[in-house]
Structure 1
């Protein structure tokens, strides 16, 4: 299983919920096994710069590639890009059962 995690910071905090809603459209793409978009709870006392977290699970790299090739992915990226500052992404093969 591939886990896909993306962290965003927003330019304007007033747009955070708009960005979360826009990114939520990615959940309409059928290739993920699990998908969610949430505001960072900012519980960690040492690193609370991240505003939004996107989390997805995919059967394999082909499923993740199909997810990213879907038209909704491109539409969402185009809509969110002007409202965000940083975007950090990590993809890894999970060893958990």
Structure 2
């Protein structure tokens, strides 16, 4: 299983909810086994810069590639890019079974 995690920060605090809702459209794309978009709870005392998190689980690299090739992915990227400051992602093969 591939876990896909993406962190976003908003350029302006008032855009956090718009980013979250816009990224929520990604859940309409097939190919994921689990998928969610959430606002950061910001309870970690060491750093709370991240505003929105995208989390997905995919059976394999092919499923993740198909997800990223979907037209909704491109549409969402175009909508969110002007509102975000930072985007950091990580894709890894889970060892949790």
TM-score (norm 2): 0.98
> What CA RMSD, in Å, does the superposition of the two structures yield over aligned residues?
0.5
Q: Secondary structure in 2 aligned to 1:7? A: strand
Residues paired across the two proteins, number: 97
Q: In 2, distance between residues paired with 1:14 and 1:8? A: 14
CA apart distance, 1:58 = 0.2
Which residue does the alignment assign to 1:41? 41
- Distance in 1 separating the partners of 2:47 and 2:60: 30
Q: What is aligned with 1:83? A: 83
Task: Show the counterpart of 1:65.
Answer: 65
Q: Could you tell me how far apart the structure 1 residues matched to 2:26 and 2:15 are?
A: 18
C-alpha deviation, 1:15, in angstroms: 1.1
